[in-house]
Structure 1
Amino acid sequence: MTDDQEPLVNGTAARPDKRLFTPGPLNTRPEVRRAMLRDLGSRDTAFVDTVRRIRRGLLQLAGVSDDQFTAIPVQGSGTYAIEAVLQTVSPREGAKMLVLCNGAYGRRMEQICRTAGIACETFNQSEEQALSPAAAAPLLAAGPLSAVAMVHCETSSGVLNPVAELGRLVRQLQPGAAFIVDSMSAFGAVPLDLEAAGVDYLVSSANKCIEGVPGFGFVIARLERLKQTKGNSRSLSLDLFDQWAGLERSGQFRFTPPTHALLAFDCALQGLLSAGGVAAQASRYRANNVIVKRGLRRLGFRPLVRDGDDCYIITSFLCPTHANFSFTELYRRLSALDQVIYPGKVTDADCFRIGNIGDLHEPDMHRLVDCVETVLRDMQVPIPVTYGDPQ
């Protein structure tokens, strides 16, 4: 079989993948999938070299040096990596976390803290707006904190939060606190200067903007902070300090690693670095996002998040109020056309989400808009769609 041929399933050509307009898992390039067609032992020299190359490449992508930061892969979804950080940075006595929250993934960090018995206070803001440093300042100044955590791009809505501004505020008002950023859906495509923003722990996942496959998350940690956390974790498998110490000592995971996912990620990461890194990924995703927003606005759809607070990673659109419109039916009909979108995940608005990341390009985005228009006509929903209230 050549690179251009479709793989065979039960002797017949496999159907081409649907286009996934989601925040992950997402469409991957053929060479990334082919990288998994290799079995390596977790202690094999070639695999240990792969993990070392990944860790080095992540620091390069982040634009930080290995004398100040380290990269630590952790088995499981991105949430596992988030929990590993929250568990590890929090001393068993006297810990107090502040979560800056404007969406589902901020609330998830609060839930992790409460489940683990970590004292936690939450600053809550509207899901449709970026976090306000001025509004958060009183809580940041109120008392000693062991850590402050926030989400970079809230995948539930598409809001982009001001990490740099909030990070500088944390350094000013809580210099002893660790600053944790969930950059699950932004790292690799949204520029962020970790040093300037004072980020101590940045967390992301293999199957987001770097375009690998699911199986592990990773943490880019400031060494000075990390070295102070030995013995903090209330979990054995999620002890980030011990995971780092094991990798430094032997180059190996403490427990069975997701070998095939790591091989795919190595291929994706090296490809991204050679293609231009964050700037190149941002350029393509921005172009994708422009096409979708322009096309759906032409059809009458309104974005949930106002311009300026939104991110080009994913966009939420409000559902029309016409009686013939049903998101379930929209989803079903689009899926039949091999176009997969996401339902909304905000609590106070009826909406759906369209992601622009993964192996998606401008023709894919134009095709999606055309399919949405076709489906609306088939559903007998008037175009432009309406919302039953003045614009």
Structure 2
Amino acid sequence: MLLLIPGPVQTRPDVRAAMAVDIAPWDRDFAPEYIAIREKVRDLAGGKAGLHACLPLQGAGHFITEAAIRTFVPAATGKLLIVRNGAYADRMARLAEEAGRTVVNLPAPDTGSVDPAAVAAVLAADPTITHLGVVYSETGSGLVNDVPALGEVVRAAGRRMIVDAVSAFGALPFDISAQPEVDAVVFTSNKCIEGLPGIAFAVAPIERVVACTGNAGSWCFDLADVYHTAQRAGWGSFRFTPPVQALHAFGVALDIFLAEGGQPARLARYRENCRILYEGAQALGLRPYLEWEHQGPIIALFHQPQHPGFTLQGFVDALKRRGVLISNFFNTEAPTMRIGCIGHVGPDEMRFALGAMRGALEELGVLQRAA
């Protein structure tokens, strides 16, 4: 089965095989492997030894996003401006509100990157805002927000920033050393690094982590406590039982990622996947949700055909019978369908998927069957 969703993604056989190992997370033979993973992840984010820390957390992207908000945005004095131009930005706002943080919303269309000038204007109008929260790659629609440009206005205003890079990290460029206004960039194991689900990561400046000790109001979601545990027990230690097999597999995926050429090579492959899908779907009569100039490389959305024979679940089922699996839900106001461009897939797989899409559309009567 060809898995074309924005995560968990299609993985290589050797990554999956790495899960078939029984490991004790506290074993001294595993500690060096875990330390090496943390250092590689820190370096991929542009972090520097002694200045930045990789802070892993068990769970999904929502977990690490909430942990970053709790850790870095003080409950009493913090105020988080969130760019609301997609479903995952909406989720960030809910996580913050349910953690008792004050949220300021900046609504924007989910069809393009937010204008940094709009963010600058809100920051200028409200000096009590302490942080900007932004989703780098919005998997609800496929758009990409310009994180470096947003960082410039945040830095100029003397504020801080939390970057949800859950579906971006490893493909879209990011350098925390060049963006000192960033308190944390967060991401997971199961997207552009092409690992398996189960663990999430934050990379953050150590100085900020220490300064924010005691903010979280949660033991589980306290990144400062993750850091202090590592200080006491060593960087190969865990606070709670981790998904250690998934972590071991992530180490294998990291090595493959680096051997492939790292972030630039991964981005090039995903962009080509997206181009093939975007152009090929149009040739089938499907209308993209985003204009190409706003289309990110992670996931492409297409409007559902207005045809009496089409239903999204029917299309998903017809594709599955042809060996391709896509999401059976959408996050946009308009009815769309989501097709991922990431994972262990390349141009041949995308062309195979387009053939399956043609067959599915013919089965549903949207397209006439080829003679």
Which range, TM-score by smaller chain? over 0.9
Residues 271-293 of structure 1: CA distance to partner in whole angstroms, max 9, x if unpaired?
11122110111111111111111
| CA distance in structure 1 between the partners assigned to 2:240 and 2:217 by the alignment | 17
Q: Count matched residues.
A: 365
User: What letter corresponds to residue 340 of structure 1 in structure 2?
Assistant: L
Of residues 189, 200, 225, the one that matches 1:217 is 200
Q: Secondary structure at the match of 1:263?
A: helix
- Structure 1 unaligned regions, length at least 5: 1-17, 385-391
Is 1:374 aligned to 2:359, yes or no? yes
Relative to structure 1, the CA distance from residue 271 to residue 200 in structure 2 (aligned partners, 3 Å threshold; closer, same or farther) is same
Is 1:180 aligned to 2:180, yes or no? no
Contact 1:206 1:213 survives alignment (8 Å): yes
Q: Secondary structure at the match of 1:160?
A: coil
Mapping for residues 2-17 of structure 1, pairs under 5 Å: none
Mapping for residues 1-391 of structure 1, pairs under 5 Å: 18-141=1-124, 142-173=126-157, 175=158, 177-197=159-179, 198-250=181-233, 251-382=236-367
| CA distance in structure 2 between the partners assigned to 1:347 and 1:160 by the alignment | 15
Q: Secondary structure at the match of 1:50?
A: helix
| CA distance in structure 2 between the partners assigned to 1:103 and 1:295 by the alignment | 25
Structure 1 residue 66: Cα displacement: 1.6
Contact 2:111 2:143 survives alignment (8 Å): yes
Structure 1 residue 115: Cα displacement: 0.7
Structure 1 residue 344: Cα displacement: 4.9
Structure 1 residue 249: Cα displacement: 2.6
User: What letter corresponds to residue 337 of structure 1 in structure 2?
Assistant: R
User: What letter corresponds to residue 147 of structure 2 in structure 1?
Assistant: V
Structure 1 residue 46: Cα displacement: 2.0
Q: Secondary structure at the match of 1:210?
A: coil
| CA distance in structure 1 between the partners assigned to 2:321 and 2:29 by the alignment | 42
Contact 1:150 1:181 survives alignment (8 Å): yes
User: What letter corresponds to residue 177 of structure 2 in structure 1?
Assistant: E
| CA distance in structure 1 between the partners assigned to 2:198 and 2:281 by the alignment | 33
Stretch of structure 1 that moved more, 91-100 or 157-166: 91-100
Residues 120-147 of structure 1: CA distance to partner in whole angstroms, max 9, x if unpaired?
1111111122111122222111222222
Contact 1:343 1:351 survives alignment (8 Å): no
Structure 1 residue 155: Cα displacement: 0.6
Relative to structure 1, the CA distance from residue 54 to residue 97 in structure 2 (aligned partners, 3 Å threshold; closer, same or farther) is same
Structure 1 residue 199: Cα displacement: 2.6
Residues 35-66 of structure 1: CA distance to partner in whole angstroms, max 9, x if unpaired?
11211112101221121011111122223312
Q: Secondary structure at the match of 1:134?
A: helix
Stretch of structure 1 that moved more, 148-157 or 28-37: 28-37
Structure 1 residue 383: Cα displacement: 6.1
Structure 1 residue 93: Cα displacement: 2.0
| CA distance in structure 1 between the partners assigned to 2:274 and 2:191 by the alignment | 16
| CA distance in structure 2 between the partners assigned to 1:382 and 1:365 by the alignment | 20
Relative to structure 1, the CA distance from residue 336 to residue 244 in structure 2 (aligned partners, 3 Å threshold; closer, same or farther) is same
| CA distance in structure 1 between the partners assigned to 2:223 and 2:174 by the alignment | 23
Contact 2:7 2:191 survives alignment (8 Å): yes
TM-score norm. by structure 2 comes to 0.95
Q: Secondary structure at the match of 1:329?
A: helix
Structure 1 residue 75: Cα displacement: 0.5
| CA distance in structure 2 between the partners assigned to 1:271 and 1:328 by the alignment | 35
Residues 83-140 of structure 1: CA distance to partner in whole angstroms, max 9, x if unpaired?
1110111223212111112111111111011111111111111112211112222211
User: What letter corresponds to residue 256 of structure 1 in structure 2?
Assistant: T
Q: Secondary structure at the match of 1:227?
A: helix
TM-score norm. by structure 1 comes to 0.90
Structure 1 residue 194: Cα displacement: 2.6
Structure 1 residue 345: Cα displacement: 3.0
User: What letter corresponds to residue 108 of structure 2 in structure 1?
Assistant: Q
| CA distance in structure 1 between the partners assigned to 2:49 and 2:368 by the alignment | 54
Q: Secondary structure at the match of 2:302?
A: strand
Contact 2:143 2:296 survives alignment (8 Å): yes
User: What letter corresponds to residue 168 of structure 2 in structure 1?
Assistant: A
Contact 1:57 1:270 survives alignment (8 Å): no
Structure 1 residue 225: Cα displacement: 1.4
| CA distance in structure 1 between the partners assigned to 2:347 and 2:6 by the alignment | 17
Calculate the aligned-residue CA RMSD, in Å: 1.5
Q: Secondary structure at the match of 1:308?
A: helix
